[in-house]
Amino acid sequence: MKGLINNKWMRAAVPALLIHCSIGTVYCWSTFKEAIGQQIGASTFSLGWAFSLAIFFLGMSAAFAGRLVEKDIHKSSLIACICFTLGMLGTGLFIQFTHGIVALLGIYLCYGCIMGIGLGIGYLTPVKTLMLWFKDKKGLATGISIMGFGLAKAIATPIMEFIQNHAGIAMMFYILGGVYFVLMLLGHFLLKKPEGWVEKEDKKNEFKAMDMFKDKTFLGIWLMFFINIHCGLALITYEKQILKTTFAGMEVLTMMVALIPSITAAFNALGRIGYSTISDKLNERNTIYKIIFMTSIIITALAFALLAIKMGPCNWFIGTIVILLLVIVNAGYGGGFSTLPALLSERYGMEKISKIHGLALSAWAFAGITGNNMSEIILKVSNNNYNFILLATLLFYCVALAICISFVGNKKIEKKRA
């Protein structure tokens, strides 16, 4: 019986999925933001800052929680469970009992700050444990967990829509808050590092974050990770609008356009497990990022060129290229997340991986603010010309590829501990 419970699946993979499939529902924001706006009398633009704050606090809490995660994964997983579910329940309360600016500030606090902290700590907590249990397949391990984060949207969206339609938006937060509390608490109890692994004693001031940013390799990883998220969010958050603009006038494809976001979400999840699993087969994990950036550059340049020179309505070929663009960007967006922990462990070893990974996730915090807001600014100054978003992301992807090659390179840094 003990062997059935005390193995890498029950002590690492299952609890990681329970936690990540819960917190990954942050990406369901577009499913209910309009309903919240109607309920509390706020614009979707002002509400959008709740999502931006959630991503910002996710990244920053992960950056500062590394020491806690290294020291005690059970304390960190419990904190993540409490903060995430309190944030959801608090959001429901403010939606139901307040209105206007009070409701808006309450949602910023609960969904943005409190839930965001639970997101960051919860995201970081299972990663090192997975890599310790799957020491020969670190990419597969982190891919499984982070795929759960990506799949959460596909799983939760229809459930959220059903509850909204039958019980209301506030009740949706109450019900799911309770469900996620149970799932994350179960993950908390199951999560355990392998027998025999002893954390090195954490000496005061042993790990200094600013010193990492003086390291050329880490700085390069941070920048290319930031750009990948920034570009991904710039396109993904305007996915529906880009599709509607591209397929305007093509009535036959109206129903198909509604299905494409589900397809791209599936590729986001597949990219998370696919790219990281492939990285296990390569001598150099940074090759994955070269593939991500090169494919993104090629498809973005092609889509931009075709849309720039088109005469009249879009045709099937241009529409297919735009769909392929969104598929490739989503896959690369997810793959960038799942390959990151294994790349960092390859460069810096396992001793301080939670701290280093958490610090790298601070790039997510800033990209969560800059990505969609860059698109918003471009649309305002260009009279809603979505092609300029493609041009901007194309330039950023070129910069990311240059950083990937020149800063991160191929040279492995000697591991301090296997």
Three-state SS letters, 22-89: HHHHHHHHHHHHHHHHHHHCCCHHHHHHHHHHHHHHHHHHHHHHHHHHHHCHHHHHHHHHHHHHHHHH
What single DSSP character describes residue 283? Answer: S
> What is the average per-residue pLDDT within 200-223?
81
Q: What does the pLDDT look like over 367-395, one tens digit per residue?
A: 988 988 898 899 889 988 989 999 999 99
Q: What does the pLDDT look like over 109-126, one tens digit per residue?
A: 999 999 999 999 999 999
- Compute φ and ψ for 385, nearest 5 degrees: -95, 105
The answer to whether 229 touches 365, Cβ cutoff 8 Å, is: no
Residue 411 has pLDDT above 70, yes or no: no
- Show the tokens assigned to 214: 């003086």
> What is the average per-residue pLDDT within 134-162?
86
Q: How far is the C-alpha of 296 from the C-alpha of 273, rounded, in Å?
A: 18
Residue 258 has pLDDT above 80, yes or no: no
Q: How far is the C-alpha of 295 from the C-alpha of 278, rounded, in Å?
A: 16
Q: What does the pLDDT look like over 165-197, one tens digit per residue?
A: 999 999 999 999 999 999 999 999 999 988 877
Q: What does the pLDDT look like over 83-113, one tens digit per residue?
A: 999 999 999 999 999 999 999 999 999 999 9
Q: How far is the C-alpha of 360 from the C-alpha of 60, rounded, in Å?
A: 10
Taking the alpha carbons at both ends of the chain, their separation in whole angstroms is 30
Q: What percentage of the chain has pLDDT greater than the value 70?
A: 91
Q: How far is the C-alpha of 35 from the C-alpha of 162, rounded, in Å?
A: 13
**Rounded mean pLDDT of the chain?**
88
Max mean pLDDT among 132-136, 151-155, 343-347, 349-353 falls in 343-347
For residue 418, what pLDDT band results from cuts at 50, 70 and 90?
Answer: very low
For residue 415, what pLDDT band results from cuts at 50, 70 and 90?
Answer: very low
Q: What does the pLDDT look like over 291-319, one tens digit per residue?
A: 999 999 999 999 999 988 876 667 778 88
Domains of the chain: 1-193 (1.20.1250.20), 209-413 (1.20.1250.20)
Q: How far is the C-alpha of 54 from the C-alpha of 56, rounded, in Å?
A: 5
Supply the pLDDT for residue 350.
85
CA geometry: angle at 67 spanning 72 and 275, to 5°?
90
> What is the average per-residue pLDDT within 402-407?
93
- Compute φ and ψ for 5, nearest 5 degrees: -95, -40
Residue 347 has pLDDT above 70, yes or no: yes
Q: What percentage of the chain has pLDDT greater than the value 90?
A: 57
For residue 150, what pLDDT band results from cuts at 50, 70 and 90?
Answer: confident
Q: What distances in angstroms separate CA 268 from CA 154, 178, 275, 285, 411, one per listed residue?
A: 10, 27, 11, 19, 29
The pTM score is 0.87
For residue 416, what pLDDT band results from cuts at 50, 70 and 90?
Answer: very low
For residue 256, what pLDDT band results from cuts at 50, 70 and 90?
Answer: low
Residue 175: count other Cβ atoms within 10 Å of its Cβ. Answer: 16
Residue 196: count other Cβ atoms within 10 Å of its Cβ. Answer: 6
For residue 4, what pLDDT band results from cuts at 50, 70 and 90?
Answer: low
Supply the pLDDT for residue 290.
96
Q: Is 380 helix (H, G, I), strand (E, B) or coil?
A: helix
Supply the pLDDT for residue 412.
52
The answer to whether 354 touches 368, Cβ cutoff 8 Å, is: no
For residue 413, what pLDDT band results from cuts at 50, 70 and 90?
Answer: very low
Supply the pLDDT for residue 334.
93
Residue 261 has pLDDT above 90, yes or no: no
Q: How far is the C-alpha of 157 from the C-alpha of 186, rounded, in Å?
A: 22
> What is the average per-residue pLDDT within 277-281?
92
Q: How far is the C-alpha of 287 from the C-alpha of 260, rounded, in Å?
A: 29
Q: What does the pLDDT look like over 229-244, one tens digit per residue?
A: 999 999 988 887 788 7
The answer to whether 126 touches 191, Cβ cutoff 8 Å, is: yes
